[in-house]
C-alpha cells in the first residue's frame, strides 16, 4: 500500500529497536549486561520521594483535566524561578512552553523554524537530529565529530556551512557521548552565529541554535555546564532551550519538559503542539510546580543521585583503561557528564575462536553481545559512519556489583580474538 512520502522514507528509532531486541533476549533467559537504554532502573535510581508524593497528592485532588496549552501558570512561574536561581537565566512567562518531555519541544522547534530545503547543521553522533531533519525535509549538513574533541562539534567545523543555514542543533551535556562544550568552544560558536546574523538582511531568515541541555545538572569533577545566553547575552534572540525533569530527577516516565526562547518562536511552537496535543499531564505539572521550589530537597537528591552515577561511570572507565593497558583493542573517554560513557571496541579484522572474520563494526557489536553479554549502542545508531568503532554505554540501569563481572567477561571475549 502506497502511503505518504514521509512514512515511506522515515526510519524508526535504531535505539528503540535495539533496546527491544535486547529485552526480548533477556526475557528468554540470556544473561546480558544491558547498557543500551538512556533510562533508569527505578529500584536503583527512583524519582525524588517529595516529587512522587506530590504527584500522588495531585491525582487524589483530582487534577485530571486538560492543562493549559502552554503549560499551567503555576508551573511556568516555578520554571521562571528555578532557572533564574539555578542557571541565572531570566525568562518571562511568555517565553516558556511546557510539554510532555523534551521530544515534542524538539519537534516543534524544527517545525517552527525550518522549511523544506533549509540547511540544518548537526554533528554526529547525536540523538535523532537526522530523523527530525528528515521530518521537515531539511538539508542535512552533517559534521562527523572526532574523538580528539570528545565528539563535540567545533566552531571551525561549523564555519564552512553556516552561510544560509537555518538551524544549528547542539546538545550539552551530549547524548550519546556524555561529554560537554568547553567555555571557549561554545563562545566561538555563539560568535559565529552572531556574526552570521549581523551579515544577513532583515528579509532573510536568521540562523538559530536549538540548545538541548537535558543533562545540565549532571556534571562531574571540575566539569562546568555552559549555555549560549549566559556566555553571550545577544544569543537570547537566537537560542531555543530544551530542558526537562526527565534526566535530572530520573523521571523519564513522568513527562514534564520545557522550552525557553524568544516569545515569537515559543508562540508558534505552542500553536504546533496545540494541534499535536503533546501536553504534560495535569497532575504531574501540579507536582513539578511545587517540587521545583524545594531547593533543599533538590540539592539533597542531586548529591546522592550524582554520586551513584559518577561511581558507576568512573568504575567502568577504570575497567576499560585496565583492558586497554593490557593491550586489548578498547578505549574510553574520561567521564564528564550525563549518564553516558563513550567506549571504543576496535576489533574489525580480527577472527573469533571458530575462525569467523569480524568484517564490520556490526559484527563486533554482535560478538561482544554474544560472547561477553555486553549490550551497548554503536555510534552508527546515532548517525555516524557504520565503520565507527565507538559506542554509548548508559549506566542508568547499572548495578555496581556487575561492573567488574562485565569487565572481566569482556576481557575474556577480546582475548579469544586473533
Q: Tell me what percent of the residues of the chain surpass a pLDDT of 70.
A: 100
Q: H or E stretch including 390?
A: strand 390-394
236 and 194 in contact (C-beta within 8 Å)?
Answer: no
3-state SS of 328-348 is: CCEEECCCCECCEEEEEECCC
Residues 316 and 216 occupy one common structural domain: no
Condensed to tens digits (0 to 9), the pLDDT of residues 28-72 reads 888 899 999 899 999 999 999 999 999 999 999 999 999 999 999
Identify the domain boundary among 235, 266, 293.
293
CATH number for 282: 3.40.640.10
Beta pairing partners, 141: 121
Q: What 3-state DSSP class applies to 321?
A: helix
Q: How many domains does the chain divide into?
A: 2
Residues 318 and 288 occupy one common structural domain: no
Residues 252 and 341 occupy one common structural domain: no
Residues 104 and 130 occupy one common structural domain: yes
The Cα–Cα gap between 172 and 411 comes to 32
| Structure confidence at residue 30 (pLDDT) | 83
Asked if pLDDT for residue 2 goes beyond 90, the answer is: no
Q: How many CB atoms lie under 10 A from the CB of residue 248? A: 19
Residue 10's pLDDT band (cuts 50, 70, 90): confident
DSSP 114-136: --TT-EEEEEES-SSHHHHHHHT
Domain that holds residue 327: 5-45+299-415
Residues 10 and 80 occupy one common structural domain: no
Asked if pLDDT for residue 1 goes beyond 80, the answer is: no
Residues 196 and 118 occupy one common structural domain: yes
Condensed to tens digits (0 to 9), the pLDDT of residues 115-146 reads 999 999 999 999 999 999 999 999 999 999 99
Region 243-264 average pLDDT: 98
Residues 231 and 248 occupy one common structural domain: yes
pTM reported for the whole predicted model = 0.95
Question: Among 11-20, 183-192, 264-273, 382-391, which stretch is predicted with the lowest mean pLDDT?
Answer: 11-20
Residues 243 and 149 occupy one common structural domain: yes
Identify the domain boundary among 237, 265, 293.
293
| Structure confidence at residue 194 (pLDDT) | 98
Identify the domain boundary among 293, 317, 343.
293
Residues 92 and 119 occupy one common structural domain: yes
Residues 9 and 54 occupy one common structural domain: no
Condensed to tens digits (0 to 9), the pLDDT of residues 215-230 reads 999 999 999 999 999 9
Residues with Cβ < 8 Å from 9, sequence gap 6 or more? 134
Asked if pLDDT for residue 16 goes beyond 80, the answer is: no
Residues 278 and 133 occupy one common structural domain: yes
CATH number for 400: 3.90.1150.10
Q: Tell me what percent of the residues of the chain surpass a pLDDT of 90.
A: 93
Condensed to tens digits (0 to 9), the pLDDT of residues 172-225 reads 999 999 999 999 999 999 999 999 999 999 999 999 999 999 999 999 999 999
State how far Cα 137 lies from the chain centre: 22
Residues 71 and 211 occupy one common structural domain: yes
The Cα–Cα gap between 121 and 115 comes to 14
Condensed to tens digits (0 to 9), the pLDDT of residues 291-308 reads 999 999 999 999 999 999
Amino acid at each position: 500500500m502506497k502511503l505518504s512520502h514521509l512514512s515511506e522514507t522515515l526510519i524508526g528509532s535504531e535505539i528503540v529497536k535495539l533496546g527491544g531486541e535486547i529485552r526480548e533476549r533477556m526475557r528468554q533467559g540470556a544473561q546480558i549486561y544491558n547498557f543500551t537504554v538512556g533510562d533508569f532502573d527505578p529500584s536503583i535510581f527512583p524519582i525524588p520521594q517529595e516529587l512522587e508524593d506530590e504527584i500522588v497528592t495531585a491525582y487524589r485532588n483530582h487534577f485530571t483535566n486538560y492543562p493549559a496549552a502552554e503549560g499551567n501558570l503555576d508551573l511556568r512561574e516555578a520554571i521562571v524561578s528555578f532557572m533564574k536561581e539555578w542557571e541565572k537565566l531570566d525568562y518571562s512567562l511568555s517565553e516558556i512552553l511546557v510539554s510532555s518531555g523534551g521530544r515534542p519541544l524538539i519537534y516543534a522547534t524544527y517545525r517552527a523554524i525550518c522549511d523544506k530545503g533549509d540547511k540544518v547543521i548537526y554533528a554526529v553522533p547525536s540523538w535523532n537530529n537526522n530523523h527530525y531533519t528528515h521530518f521537515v525535509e531539511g538539508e542535512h549538513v552533517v559534521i562527523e565529530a572526532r574523538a580528539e574533541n570528545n565528539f563535540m562539534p567545533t566552531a571551525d567545523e561549523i564555519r564552512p556551512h553556516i552561510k544560509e543555514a537555518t538551524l544549528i542543533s547542539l546538545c550539552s551535556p551530549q547524548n550519546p557521548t556524555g561529554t560537554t562544550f568547553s567555555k571557549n568552544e561554545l563562545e566561538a560558536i555563539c560568535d559565529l552565529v552572531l556574526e552570521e546574523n549581523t551579515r544577513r538582511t532583515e528579509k532573510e531568515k536568521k540562523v538559530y541554535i536549538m540548545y538541548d541541555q537535558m543533562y545540565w545538572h549532571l556534571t562531574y569533577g571540575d566539569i562546568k555546564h555552559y549555555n549560549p545566553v549566559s556566555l553571550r547575552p545577544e544569543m537570547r534572540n537566537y537560542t531555543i532551550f530544551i530542558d526537562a525533569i526527565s534526566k535530572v530527577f530520573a523521571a523519564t516516565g513522568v513527562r514534564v519538559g520545557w522550552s525557553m526562547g524568544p516569545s515569537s518562536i515559543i508562540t508558534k511552537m505552542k500553536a504546533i503542539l496545540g494541534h499535536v496535543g503533546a501536553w504534560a499531564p495535569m497532575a504531574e505539572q501540579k507536582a513539578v510546580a511545587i517540587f521545583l521550589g524545594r531547593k533543599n530537597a533538590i540539592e539533597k537528591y542531586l548529591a546522592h543521585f550524582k554520586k551513584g552515577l559518577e561511581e558507576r561511570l568512573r568504575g567502568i572507565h577504570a575497567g576499560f583503561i585496565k583492558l586497554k593497558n593490557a593491550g586489548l583493542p578498547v578505549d574510553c573517554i574520561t567521564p564528564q557528564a550525563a549518564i553516558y560513557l563513550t567506549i571504543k571496541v576496535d576489533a574489525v579484522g580480527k577472527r573469533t575462536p571458530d575462525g569467523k572474520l569480524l568484517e564490520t563494526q556490526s559484527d563486533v557489536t554482535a560478538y561482544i553481545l554474544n560472547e561477553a553479554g555486553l549490550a551497548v549502542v554503536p555510534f552508527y545508531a546515532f548517525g555516524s559512519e557504520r565503520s565507527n568503532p565507538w559506542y554509548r554505554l548508559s549506566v542508568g540501569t547499572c548495578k555496581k556489583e556487575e561492573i567488574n563481572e562485565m569487565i572481566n567477561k569482556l576481557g575474556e571475549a577480546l582475548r579469544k580474538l586473533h
